[in-house]
Amino acid sequence: MNEDSLAFSPDQFSGLARLFPLPNLVMFPHVMQAMHIFEPRYRSMFEEAVSDDKLIALGVLSPGWEVDYEGRPALESTACLCRIATYQQTPEGTYNVLLLGVRRIQLRDELPPTKPFRVVEAGIIEDELPPQFSDQEVSTMQQQLLAAFKRSIPKMPASYDQIDELLGSQITLGMLADIVAYTAELSLGIKLSLLKTSNVCDRVQVLLDGLGKNSQAKVASRTFPPAFSVN
């Protein structure tokens, strides 16, 4: 996988998001998610993305989506813009895809249904770090979050050095928060609130509260460490 091809800057986004809505997955920037794309409308969406900017947004369906899944059920207001990292077409014409989350986006107006899939006007949401927080305070929060995350995962001391190396000083506090939010077994509601929160320190506090209240919280059934990128 060519890291240069995964690099993203906001000016690469047209402001129109091809939307892949999901009922029970909250995607975050800086991590990778495998998808199997088989519905004809989403195959059409994927093929257009591959031929264009390679961007797809993973959104979250609002409660009650079941009654109108084939139509246009309501969506949560925040989604994750993703770049297609790699893909493989199956003999049946479906696609196995690896997506890299690149940015939060705020969904605005949905375009009329001229395509098989949904397209929504959207704006990029950048991380915010309150200016009153010193570098030392940010570093302390990073260590607190890392320690809470370690306590929440199954006992595997042999992996702690690897966790420190991957999630410690090499990445920003916002990246660490997103990786932990994606990996930890938290409720869908908490994960959605984390996706909607652009203030990094607020995100970390929600994570510390969530991980602390449930000391038995397990890492979700995903490979650890999760695939992620610092781009």
Contact 122/57 with Cβ under 8 angstroms? yes
Q: What angle do CA 168, 169, 174 make, to 5 degrees?
A: 75
pLDDT band for position 82 (50/70/90)?
very high
Structural domain harbouring 178: 135-213
Domain of residue 113, CATH code: 2.30.130.40
Provide the whole-model pTM.
0.85
pLDDT tens for residues 123-180? 999 999 988 888 899 889 998 998 888 887 765 555 566 666 666 557 899 999 999 9
Q: Does 120 share its domain with 188?
A: no
200 in a structural domain: yes
pLDDT tens for residues 188-217? 999 999 999 999 999 999 999 988 765 544
pLDDT band for position 229 (50/70/90)?
very low
Instruction: Give the CB-side neighbour count of residue 139, counting CA atoms within 13 A.
Output: 5
* Domain boundary pick from 125, 143, 177: 125
Domain count, the chain: 2
- The torsion angle over the Cα atoms of residues 83, 152, 193 and 46, rounded to 10 degrees, is 20
pLDDT value at position 27? 97
pLDDT band for position 7 (50/70/90)?
confident
Percentage helix, strand, coil for the chain under 3-state DSSP, each rounded to 5 = 35, 25, 35
228 in a structural domain: no
40 in a structural domain: yes
d(CA 205, CA 181): 12
pLDDT value at position 166? 62
Q: Does 139 share its domain with 121?
A: no
84 in a structural domain: yes
Instruction: Return the closest-CA partner of residue 190 out of 181, 202, 198.
Output: 181
Instruction: Return the closest-CA partner of residue 229 out of 29, 35, 10, 11.
Output: 29
